[in-house]
Amino acid sequence: MTEPAQSTHPTQPNPEVPQEILRAVTSRVIDGEESAKVVLATILAGGHVLLEDVPGLGKTLMARSFAEVLGLTFRRIQFTPDLLPSDLTGATMYDQRTGEFTFHEGPVFTGLLLADEINRTPPKTQAALLEAMQERQVTTLGSVRALPDPFIVIATANPIENDGTFPLPEAQLDRFMTRIGLGYPSETSEARIVDQHLAGTSAAPLPALTDAAELRALRELARNVTVTPEIRDYALRLVRATREHKLVQLGASPRASIALVTVAQGLALIHGRDHVTPDDVRGCAVSVLVHRLVLRPELWSTGASARRVVDEVIAGVPTPEGLTG
């Protein structure tokens, strides 16, 4: 594995860097500002992202763009039905010339991993990736090997196709801090995408605006963004309301409460603030909560959706008194 270059950035991170990163990514990913903002907030919160949408909407482009501007090593692995856990994590092999066992690192030993179509590989391989995501390490033959810091997974999934897929169980979906759908671009934006392709600029690499060391410092800066008791309680009420909704069989867990607050801290940092506002919480609530809900089985054929539940929860939980924005 190629080692990243030594950091040339100061110890103190530049709080304007997140906005610069966002501008760089959205200069390539047209009409993706809101999605990119939540992806970046998730990265600043130390989490992993699931991009779930139909093919051709820029999921791979989004992941590659973030790897470039963050100055991280990047690996992409296409998940297929015959992919083995060792294809992902690496394997220990016997070298006949030296008479020793040597570990060969898999693609998870990188700064940012694009796990393309994660729902096309069997549960055993999915579990190997999710274990690496959770523990930030892999274990082979009793040896524990730490993954790079930071280690970020951006996984993609196609929610439409069912043939040959292995849907992620709810417990594994919960390991992704956010799930984001990119959606179709507007007519104007789609014209810009075509023009960008015709001009040959869509594939031009983006400059690195930071590196692993400064990203770690930015994460620490995000952790220090103030969350008042009123904002904390507002986030908790949103999460708890999902458990009480009439359409929901299984609501969001306490892990969702932690994710909602920490991603909101990331959004506040992106917006240049040192405190979280209700808008920050609402701005990431759908992405944090929608994949953590299990609807009642009898409602599956009625058109009910987790997105509808979260929208109703956001509309129904009052903003803390005296707090706006």
Q: What pLDDT sits at residue 322? A: 65
Q: What pLDDT sits at residue 161? A: 64
CATH 1.10.8.80 intervals, the chain = 225-316
Structure tokens at 139: 């274990």
d(CA 144, CA 127): 17
Q: What pLDDT sits at residue 144? A: 86
Alpha helices of the chain — where are they, by DSSP H?
Answer: 17-28, 33-44, 59-70, 85-89, 123-135, 170-173, 187-199, 212-223, 229-244, 254-270, 278-289, 306-316
DSSP 120: G
CATH architecture of 225-316: Orthogonal Bundle (1.10)
Task: Determine contact, residues 88/108, Cβ cutoff 8 Å.
Answer: yes
d(CA 266, CA 299): 35
Entry pTM: 0.90
Q: What pLDDT sits at residue 99? A: 82
Q: What pLDDT sits at residue 282? A: 96
Q: What pLDDT sits at residue 9? A: 46
Structure tokens at 232: 């904390």
CATH 3.40.50.300 intervals, the chain = 17-215
DSSP 252: -
Q: What pLDDT sits at residue 82? A: 93
Q: What pLDDT sits at residue 101? A: 82
Task: Determine contact, residues 256/307, Cβ cutoff 8 Å.
Answer: no
Q: What pLDDT sits at residue 324? A: 63
Which fold would CATH assign to domain 17-215? Answer: Rossmann fold (3.40.50)
Q: What is the mean pLDDT of each run of 10 residues along the chain (325 residues)?
A: 46 85 90 91 97 81 91 93 92 83 90 92 89 88 87 88 75 89 83 82 82 95 96 97 92 95 97 96 96 83 81 94 66
- Assign 7 to helix, strand or coil: coil
**What secondary structure does DSSP assign to 264-308, as a single string?**
HHHHHHHTT-SB--HHHHHHHHHHHHGGG-EE-GGGGGGT--HHH
Cis peptide before 169 (omega within 30 of 0): no
